[in-house]
A and B are shown apart, each in its own frame.
Chain A
Amino acid sequence: MSIENYKQGGARRPRNRNREAFFLLLPTILLLAVFIAYPLVNTVMLAFQDYKLTDVAGAHFNGLENFKAIVADPYFPQILKNSFLFTFCTVTLQFLLGLVLALALNKPFRGRNLYQSVIFLPWSISALVIGFTFRWLFNAEFGPVNDLLLRLGVLEERVSFLGDGTLAMACVILAMVWYGVPFFGIMLTAAFQSIPTDLYEAADIDGSGAIRKFFYITLPHAKPTIILTLLLRTIWVFNSADLIYVMTNGGPSNATHTLASYMFTKAYSTLNFGQTGALGVLFMVGLVLYAFAFMKVTNYDGSGGF
């Protein structure tokens, strides 16, 4: 084996090892094949059928009808726009705040262990409870947010945070950010701490400033972690419906509905799983395209990560 191999993390040459790898991956592949592949195929099949749960016997393939119906839905453009806005703002804020948190946590200080275990707590509460709690916090009449702002003199009269489209979207994003910052915090702290200290020492000798060190050492080293977490987080956030469902139920007048929450409400109110499947297919195609574009742009593909 050459030295090169070690540096790369050392993947073995393709000898007769395929079988070993196969057996090691088999349990996972089997699990996913049974529990993910079947629903996946099912979704695609549904997308091209007139399939209503109330009339399963009458189900039949109907070509692109479902997709046409979705495009014709007058709410669709707004919901698409909401989804992008919601996902983009949430992930960006989660990432930036997580980054700040990780940088602040980077150097040891007294009580850091305790601090870390507290700061990660939001992550262990279910999204539904978070949704209800934030709905209450922002309630105009009973909620402490309004009360505090009034007492502090920031507001002169009560504001209906969840009653106004723009504000409601901001509140939903805020709750989602609160929930997700710890995730980025953990991942980034870990990535930063894995950077060999001698690199920084060398930079100190060169007289590099903190900002320069951040951009030339810290960020490049954490890049694979950042890319992977950003990618997965985007997918998860795009796919999360429960918090919105609880906080605003998509309202007022669809201002906070995203594709995921709209799909959820629509599926169970119409029981039209053909259209739901079609929405699901569009949803996944969009995410796959995003994932490819993201990996191309960030060059994750070539960095040996994928």
Chain B
Amino acid sequence: MKKRLFSITLAGMMALSLLAGCGGGSSSQAESGSAPEGSSTEPVTIRFMDNMASEVRDRAYAEIIANFEAANPDIKIEYETVPWDQSHSKLVTLGSTGTMPDVVQVHPTWISEFVNAGWLVGLDSYMENYEYKDGFTEYAQNVLFDETQRDVYGDLYVVPDAILTNGIFIRTDWAEEAGVDYTDWTWSEFLDAAHKMTDPEQNRYGISFRGARSAYHQAMFLLYAQTGGRIYDEEGNCLINSLECVEIFDQYINLYKEGCTPQDAINWGFSEMCSAFTSGLTGMLNQTCEVIDMCNQSLEDDQWTVAMLPKSDLDGKIYNEISFSNGYAIAQNSEHKDAAWRFIEYLSSPEAASIYCKTNLLIPIQKEALEDEFFTTGKMAGYAEMFKQDNLMAWPELGYFPEVGEFRETFADAEVQKCMQGQQTAQETLDKLAEFLTTYQKQYMQENPDVPVPMPKVATSSAL
């Protein structure tokens, strides 16, 4: 009896398997978007993927999409998300198989890969007729559109979402106790402050040191200050292993070796750095504006502020990375390019940019949106103040060759970590990094003689 029951169960399971297979399928097909452009009443569906998915971003995009769909009943947006950690590999897979979403988000560091691979559409022909085409700030037009895109690739491929730039998050109460003045400081004073604010007795560390997942990037702030913001000379020789660079890099690595940051920092990426600051473990953090939100949630308002980035000890200028967070582009494989552009037009309008930047705490590139006092008051004031300085310079890119990806993801961090562990000197480390960059930059210059060598740009308030 029991045995028969078993065999019936089994037969049932087999039948179910077929049913479930089909059942699961049919329902999913109905749900999945990309309906063909059919009759005129049927709206066109375009896919749009956010590659830094988070609850806050979801909220902002939900509002933007609702507004857009209300104004454009003939277009429906299918909103997709992918977590940041997997977004690059997913987009690469989608790109190489011709299945990218219609509107793709592109991180500034991916532009060269995606454009070289032919996955994106040139946008200049669309931009010509855009009603707000002159509404972008000068910095966006000159640097983000022209210098880093049109001059290199001959077209505009990515419309930036908003400006992202660094400031020093600092514990004002600790700074006061340690007698640190952060109003108009240089990098040497910054390094000094990290030592002063360290107090093992109270379990306080001076700085959130980034030792992993783009460790090299934090060091670049100090290196650029020593090279006058340059990465290469005219011949394409990388300049970051100069005597001045080695000296300051050594001091920077010493922050780790001498315990101005926890030993665990060799493993810290973005989230660890930030939570170390917000939980009261570290006193300083070199980060971008979105972190303000995290700090607001866990620190008292009078405990912290965002200080301006330190100046160069050599020429007194501020060298900052002033790039964008994530741009919008149209995929080459899109079948609805015009509809996709209409969505990008809305995303780039002052109205949508304002919603987006206020929720995510970013700096808009639309003049009209920037007039909002939201962006010049509160903790954002530190960033606004910086843009008023006439000594503000923006870093150049590391280069436009695809090997930059390898440098960023694997090579540079491993070398910096070796230096942190004392396996090699500051000089050896910087020599290796410089050699890597020089090799590929020279190769690139040979193949693309017309593309100018990346150079720092003036980014004063008049330009912004």
Contact = CB atoms under 8 A, between A and B. Distances in A.
Interface of A: 52-56, 75, 139-142, 158-160, 162-163, 165, 168, 248-254, 262, 265-266, 268-271
18 contacts: A53-B95, A54-B112, A139-B264, A139-B272, A140-B263, A158-B264, A162-B264, A251-B212, A251-B414, A252-B421, A253-B421, A262-B410, A266-B406, A268-B89, A268-B409, A269-B406, A270-B402, A271-B92
B296 interface: no
B276 A141 contact: yes
B413 A251 contact: yes
B267 A163 contact: yes
A141 B273 CA distance: 12
B388 interface: no
A236 B198 CA distance: 45
Contacts of A268: 88-89, 92, 409
B96 A53 contact: yes
A229 to B, nearest CB: 25
Contacts of A165: 421
Contact of B266 (A54, A141, A251): A251
| A-B pairs with lowest CB-CB distance, top 4 | A269-B409, A140-B264, A160-B263, A253-B417
Contacts of A54: 112-113, 116-117, 402
B358 interface: no
A252 B212 contact: yes
B179 interface: no
Contact of A270 (B275, B403, B415): B403
Interface residues of B, number: 39
Contacts, number: 97
Most chain B CB inside 10 Å of its own CB: which residue of A56, A141, A249: A141
Q: Is the interface of B mostly helix, strand, loop or mixed?
A: helix
A251 B417 contact: yes
A51 to B, nearest CB: 11
Given A140-B263, A158-B263, A265-B410, A253 B418 contact: yes
Contact of A252 (B262, B275, B420): B420
Interface string B243-272: 000000000000000000011111101001
A163 B413 CA distance: 13
Contacts of B32: none
A75 B405 contact: no
A83 B96 CA distance: 29
B211 interface: yes
A163 B405 CA distance: 24
Given A251-B212, A271-B402, A140 B92 contact: no
B266 A163 contact: yes
A73 B414 CA distance: 13
Contacts of B217: none
A220 B74 CA distance: 71
Contacts of A75: 414
Nearest to B264: A140
Given A56-B96, A269-B410, 17 more contacts: A52-B402, A53-B92, A54-B117, A139-B264, A140-B262, A142-B279, A159-B263, A160-B264, A248-B212, A250-B414, A251-B211, A251-B417, A252-B212, A253-B417, A253-B418, A254-B414, A268-B409
Contacts of B415: 253
Most chain B CB inside 10 Å of its own CB: which residue of A56, A158, A163, A250: A163
Contacts of A265: 409-410
B408 interface: yes
B262 A251 contact: no
Contacts of B95: 53
A50 B146 CA distance: 32
B113 A271 contact: yes
A222 B200 CA distance: 56
Interface in B61-117: 88-89, 92, 95-96, 112-113, 116-117
Contacts of A269: 405-406, 408-410
B106 to A, nearest CB: 14
B88 to A, nearest CB: 6
B151 to A, nearest CB: 19
A168 B212 CA distance: 14
B213 interface: yes
B423 interface: yes
B267 A162 contact: yes
Nearest to A270: B406
B408 A160 contact: no
Contacts of B213: 249
Nearest to A273: B96
B453 interface: no
Nearest to A139: B264
B250 to A, nearest CB: 18
A153 to B, nearest CB: 18
B275 A142 contact: yes
B117 A56 contact: yes
A218 B110 CA distance: 58
A238 to B, nearest CB: 20
Contacts of A249: 212-213, 269
A247 B421 CA distance: 19
A251 B410 contact: no
Nearest to B89: A268
Contacts of B402: 52, 54, 270-271
A163 B410 contact: no
B281 interface: yes
Most chain B CB inside 10 Å of its own CB: which residue of A140, A249, A269: A269
Nearest to B432: A74
Nearest to B115: A54
Contacts of B264: 139-141, 158, 160, 162-163
A131 to B, nearest CB: 11
Contacts of B272: 139
Contacts of A141: 262, 264, 276, 281
